[in-house]
């Protein structure tokens, strides 16, 4: 059976919500293709799994 893994979380943030995600360590990603000029462009953001806080007891 194949092993699966996860390296991080990706969100498509609204422009006005990027500060919220940055507070939790998300970093903006550069879009290389696929932007639709007729729609407001979301800002893709990434958070490494190693950056997520540990669960508190």
User: How confident is the model over 4-17, as a mean pLDDT?
Assistant: 90
Which pLDDT belongs to residue 22?
94
**Alpha helix stretches (DSSP H) within the chain:** 18-23
Closest CA to 46 of 5, 19, 9, 6: 9
User: How confident is the model over 38-55, as a mean pLDDT?
Assistant: 78
Whole-angstrom distance, CA of residue 56 vs CA of residue 27: 24
- pLDDT band with cut points at 50, 70 and 90 for residue 30: confident
User: How many other C-beta atoms can be found within 10 angstroms of the C-beta atom of residue 52?
Assistant: 12
Rg (CA), the chain: 14
């Amino acid at each position: 059976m194949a092993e699966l893994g996860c390296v991080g979380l990706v969100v498509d943030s609204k422009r006005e919500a990027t500060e919220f995600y940055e507070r939790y360590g998300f970093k903006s990603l550069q879009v290389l293709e696929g932007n639709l000029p007729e729609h407001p462009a979301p800002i893709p953001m990434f958070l490494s799994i190693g950056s997520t806080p540990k669960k508190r007891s």
